[in-house]
Amino acid sequence: MPNSLLFRRWWAFVPLLTLLGLAIVLAAGWWWPRLAPSYPIPAATANVSIAVNLNNRIRGVSWVGSDSITDVELAPLQQHNVTWIAQTPFGWQRGATSPTIGMHTGRGRVYWGESDAGLIQTAQLARKRGQHILLKPHLWVRGDGTWPGDIRMTSEADWKAWFASYTTFILHYAELAEQQKLDGLCIGTELEQTTTAAHETEWRALIRQIRQVYHGPLTYAANWSGEYEHIRFWDALDYIGIQAYFPLTKNRKPTKAELLAGWQPHLKAIERVQKRFDKLVVFTEMGYKCTADAAVEPWVWPDRTTAFLQLDEDTQATCYAAMFETFWTKKWFGGLFVWKWYPKLAPDGPARRHADFTPQHKEAAQVMAQWFGK
């Protein structure tokens, strides 16, 4: 929301105020958002065109919470033209069929950077550098190979209990986002068995509750493999959020032309959903491993037990280039968050870190910075 909108009613009274009085009023009257955000105003909340100004796109990274943070760790973001960070606290579920979500929000139970105190201090430091913040809570489901998309209750009573527990979980972070005047809130991530038509009513009720607590933009991070297409409540949110790990090829070391062609069916599917709801689309996550097979199954982590991980910076960078060329010029594309950014990763850091999804210290970071700079 532009500064002119925040203060348009004040200037008519300036002649009636002393300088001291004006200072008092400004101090008392500062409300959402504390820092005028660079995100495009969503059509759901303002009478504006769906087309997004290229200068206002979200240029984000998914920030990894660690045991501490200083301004030094944030400095590289500006060097790469990053304007947003997504912060990811966790809720904990004992299993895919458990209706209870545990929360560890204090020091000692989780990484400090994922605790409430860590989230707040990181956000405050980031905002001093002009960064905007998306709060993006995830669920960690215990069990070998289990992920949030597996969550599925076995009875109506358990579904009711799960939504009640999830409501408590997400409202905690909605309150934190409101208190800190954060710039966006993602209300869920890859919960695809819970977002079917059978549970549309529950999600709409939850969104209404969240909006009573938090007054900034909302999105949901839907899985690429069909979830974003079957969600019916996009109209109640401000952005269509997609976890963009779309498979683009079956080949190792693909060419950019091959990747551009691989994007076309996915692009058409995304455009159908975008046109149906007339919302800006944001990639709540987008990333590629630094491996030759990065575009085959982009959602799969590299084998960290391998004795020697063979890095392939060229393939990772080519994947970035094809994605940006496909989406960055689309008027309905609101931006993206690169998965992911380790605040203390050195160029000679652990090979298992450099082989996974981060672009840091690699050719992909240069591609990202060039496109983010446009």
Any bridge partners for residue 135, and if so which? 87, 185
**Alpha carbon distance 274, 271 (integer Å):** 5
Q: What predicted TM-score, i.e. pTM, was given to this entire model?
A: 0.86
The H-or-E segment that residue 340 falls in is strand 333-341
Q: Prior bond to 33 cis, omega within 30?
A: yes
- Spatial separation of the C-alpha atoms in residues 200 and 202, rounded to whole Å: 5
Which three-class secondary structure state does DSSP give residue 77?
A: helix
Please provide the DSSP assignment of 19-44 as one string: HHHHHHHHHHH--S-SS---SPPPTT
pLDDT tens, position by position, for the chain (374 residues)? 333 333 333 333 333 333 334 333 333 332 333 333 333 434 344 323 344 566 789 999 999 999 899 999 999 999 999 999 999 999 999 999 999 999 988 866 788 999 999 999 999 999 999 999 999 999 999 987 789 999 999 999 999 999 999 999 999 999 999 999 999 999 999 999 999 999 999 999 999 999 999 999 999 999 999 999 999 999 999 999 999 999 999 999 999 999 999 999 999 999 999 999 999 999 999 999 999 999 999 999 887 666 567 889 999 999 999 999 999 999 999 999 999 999 989 988 776 777 789 999 999 999 999 999 99
Cα three-residue angle 227-230-236, rounded to 5 degrees: 100
CA–CA separation, 88 and 60 (whole Å): 13
Q: Which helix (H) or strand (E) holds 269?
A: helix 256-277
Compute how many other C-beta atoms are within 10 angstroms of the C-beta atom of residue 335.
25
Cβ 209 vs Cβ 167: under 8 Å: yes
What would the two tokens of residue 63 be? Answer: 């920030």
CA distance 215 to 47: 17
CA pair distance 309, 290, nearest whole angstrom: 10
Residue type, 188: G
Structure-token pair, residue 315: 């393939």
What's the chain's Rg over C-alpha atoms? 21
Predicted pLDDT of residue 306: 63
Q: Give CA separation, 14 vs 1, 20, 292, in Å.
A: 22, 11, 62
Rounded to whole angstroms, how far apart are CA atoms 36 and 55? 14
